[in-house]
Amino acid sequence: MTKKSLLFITLVLLLFSLPAQTTLSAAPDELTLTILHTNDEHSALIPHSPAIDHDPANPNDPTRGGFARLATLIDQIKARKAQDAEPVLLLNAGDFLGGTAFGWLAPAGQAAELSILHALGYHAVTVGNHEYDYGPDVLATYLLAAGYPDAHQHTPVLASNTRPPQGHPLAESNLLRDTAVLELENGLTVGLFGLIGVQAISYTADTGDIQFLDQHQTAQEMVASLQASDVDLIIALTHSGLDEDIELAQNVSGIDVIVGGHCHTALFEPVIVGDTIIVQAGSLGSYLGQLELAYNRQTGKVTTRNELNNNPYLLPIDGSIAPHPQIAAMIADYTQQLNHLLAEMTGGHSDDVLEIVARSPFPLVNTPPLQESPLGNFIADGMRLITQQVTGNRVDIAVQANGSIRESVIPGTMPHTLDAVSFYDIVNTIGLGYGPDGNAGYPIVSVYITGEETRRMLEVAVLLADLMGDTYFLQFSGLRYDFNPNNAILFTIPFINQPLPSSRAVLSADLYTGPGYQPVVDNGYYQPLERGDQQLYHLVTDTYILSFLPMVGDMLPNLSIVPKDASGNPIPQDQFDHFIVHSPDGNELKVWQTVVEYAASHPVGAGGLSLIPQYYQDTANRINPVSSFPYIVLVYLLLVIIVLVIAVPIVLLVRRKRRL
């Protein structure tokens, strides 16, 4: 065998002995960088789907996510990259707060999520819509609890198009920054800025007097400022959604990378728009984004290296990853604090966030979008029936929106948790918001509307779904209705692009007058709701949804809905809080509380726990789209007939005059 043959064989053996995830050396004129990124964790400190299944000692644990696992994975990648002297940037695109019960620690003065991000070594974060779940004052307190403004030195909070009013703690304490410039170990200089998008702003619960500047104009200004600082790379952290990120890349040049969030999209490959690379890592910590880059010092061009290195853009975070001891200890401490808070909020009835409250042999799903869902029915029924039990007054109707229903309730799947439904997994679906009492969770509010207004509310529900999408789709308890979605909009007014509702999309509506949850088929307890009905009906919803009702009348007077007290007196909007329902212990009755109590209220099954009825395995024919002759066609036909009736005699008269 020749020396050349031996050399060839040796090279081949070396090539095949490389580890599965390897990093190839960069060209001499290139600097390399790895960006690790997450977004939309929503306070999911512990593994989920369902949390009750999590067993850190079991490598076959089926749960996903968890900050302790994330920490281990980050450390592994950093160690591998350090062998090649390649710097690693760790970035977050917002909505790290709000969703699970751990988010409830924020209004109690804790900053669990951001404190853990600090411990994980994040280099920068931006602010999403859910950071405003408890209002701008709580956000300021949260950032102060996390060590800001001093903490900007290691984890700047970037909110470039956000302008708090003068005098507000967010402004006075310099808790938000526009840009950051990082000098990496290999000499690469990176400039960063952060944006919150148009849709995300529209989804914020409470931003007070904060102003949000135009995203594209702000981005242009930030890019110009960073270019003047002579940075090599410019990265935008955006909480805007993929569609808006693409528009940003199309309209603003100079952005090398967009690390996005908000729409929960798991991008297994980047979206490339011109010279801009767009990435996003799903939600709830299910993935860690990994973007490997090369920067050419001669041309300034940035290219991806994942394919070259045979490394994925998204790394799953699952039971195969051992939890990081330090982060696991932090989470255990926050769990203990959450349990103490839970005991205070429930008057001692619950002191374990992972307590099993019911059993279910099936999941309660919140899908598909834009439709009645089993979980939507379950939540609305809990609101109606538990509030009725607490107040002693019959509740006719309950309303909830899909935007507040975060995900499905998944029962336990492991042998020791089979069919178990925990407190944590229930409130994870419906635990958003806060009340005037300062505690987490939207409170139940009790008002009255007429039968005519109930039908208007259903018309608004059809219209919202058509114009605004699934977030604004309404789920109901105590009602069923048929509607033709093609009748929602009469036509769109030209030039101003203003849809004109027909107010005739709802074909029929019935009120359920019987006990318990409403049956799928008519059992004699359904009462038709006729147009013009002026009888008062008892409605419960949450304070957030109720706040939107006056806006309907402002925009669409023919669909106005005026909340009233039990005597029929209109309630001014500034007095809505006076109609919040309180529990016997004097605390606000929260939406999540009604759902947890409803889950525990059913007849006991095996193991001495409430068994969720089979009824909720499917929908119950409450919201029924039907095909019928479109109302708009009738309108057009009527217009044609009117034109003919007017025009034909005129034409005949003109012809007759010409003959004369």
DSSP string, 119-165: HHT-SEEE--GGGGTTHHHHHHHHHHHTTTTGGGGTS-EE-TTEEPP
Please state the rounded mean pLDDT for residues 346-365: 94
Same domain for 208 and 178: yes
Same domain for 394 and 270: no
Residue 649 has a pLDDT of 62
Q: What percent of the chain has pLDDT over 90?
A: 81
Residue 220 has pLDDT above 80, yes or no: yes
Residue 360 has a pLDDT of 97
User: For residue 272, is it within any domain?
Assistant: yes
The domain that contains 233 carries what CATH number?
A: 3.60.21.10
Same domain for 633 and 598: no
Contacts of 99 (CB under 8 A, 6+ apart): 41, 42, 43, 44, 130, 284, 406, 428, 431, 432
The rounded mean pLDDT for the chain is 91
Residue 12 has a pLDDT of 36
Burial class (CB in 10 A: 0-12, 13-18, 19+), 247: middle
Residue 659 has pLDDT above 80, yes or no: no
The Cα 438–Cα 87 span in angstroms is: 43
Same domain for 298 and 223: yes
User: For residue 308, is it within any domain?
Assistant: yes
Residue 490 has a pLDDT of 77
Maximum Cα–Cα distance for the chain, whole Å?
116
Which helix (H) or strand (E) is 38 found in, with range?
Answer: strand 30-38
Pairing of strands 211-212, 162-163: antiparallel
Query: Which of these ranges, 24-28, 172-176, 447-451, has the smallest mean pLDDT?
Result: 24-28
Name the pTM for this structure: 0.89
> Residue 108 has which token pair?
């109690």
Pairing of strands 271-273, 276-279: antiparallel
User: For residue 569, is it within any domain?
Assistant: yes
Query: Which of these ranges, 286-300, 406-420, 542-556, has the smallest mean pLDDT?
Result: 542-556
Residue 618 has pLDDT above 80, yes or no: yes
- Cα angle for residues 69, 73, 78 (degrees, 5° grid): 145
Q: What is the pLDDT of residues 487-496, one digit of tens each?
A: 888 777 766 6
Q: Report the SS3 class of residue 421.
A: strand
Q: What percent of the chain has pLDDT over 70?
A: 90
Please state the rounded mean pLDDT for residues 476-488: 94
Confidence band, pLDDT 50/70/90 cuts, at residue 22: very low
Residue 58 has a pLDDT of 86
Q: What is the pLDDT of residues 27-84, one digit of tens each?
A: 568 999 999 999 999 999 999 999 999 998 888 899 999 999 999 999 999 999 999 9
Confidence band, pLDDT 50/70/90 cuts, at residue 20: very low
Residue 631 has pLDDT above 70, yes or no: no
Q: Which residue has 């999911």 as its token pair?
A: 44
Same domain for 636 and 604: no
Residue 641 has pLDDT above 70, yes or no: no
Task: State which amino acid sits at residue 484.
Answer: N
Confidence band, pLDDT 50/70/90 cuts, at residue 89: very high
Q: What is the pLDDT of residues 115-157, one digit of tens each?
A: 999 999 999 999 999 999 999 999 999 999 999 999 999 999 9
Q: 633-651 b/e with 16+ CB inside 10 Å = b?
A: eeeeeeeeeeeeeeeeeee
Same domain for 93 and 51: yes
Same domain for 405 and 266: no
User: For residue 475, is it within any domain?
Assistant: yes
CB neighbours (10 Å) of residue 562?
17
Structural domain span for residue 643: 629-660
Residue 14 has a pLDDT of 36
Residue 249 has a pLDDT of 98
Residue 16 has a pLDDT of 35
Is the separation of the CB atoms in 390 and 588 below 8 Å?
no
User: For residue 39, is it within any domain?
Assistant: yes
Residue 134 has a pLDDT of 95
User: For residue 10, is it within any domain?
Assistant: no
Same domain for 72 and 48: yes
For 577-602, the DSSP string reads: GGGB-B-TTSSB-BHHHHHHHHHTTS
- How many domains is the chain partitioned into structurally? 3
Residue 638 has a pLDDT of 57
User: For residue 13, is it within any domain?
Assistant: no
The Cα 95–Cα 111 span in angstroms is: 13
Q: What is the pLDDT of residues 414-454, one digit of tens each?
A: 999 999 999 999 999 999 999 999 999 999 999 999 999 99
Is the separation of the CB atoms in 140 and 173 below 8 Å?
yes
- Cα angle for residues 174, 180, 186 (degrees, 5° grid): 150
> Residue 374 has which token pair?
């089993």
The domain that contains 527 carries what CATH number?
A: 3.90.780.10
Closest CA to 504 of 490, 514, 494: 490
Same domain for 635 and 616: no
Same domain for 187 and 51: yes
Confidence band, pLDDT 50/70/90 cuts, at residue 650: low
Same domain for 293 and 257: yes
Tell me 375's DSSP state: H
Residue 558 has a pLDDT of 86
Same domain for 413 and 443: yes
Contacts of 248 (CB under 8 A, 6+ apart): 195, 215, 216, 219, 236, 238, 240, 255, 258
- Cα angle for residues 140, 154, 72 (degrees, 5° grid): 105
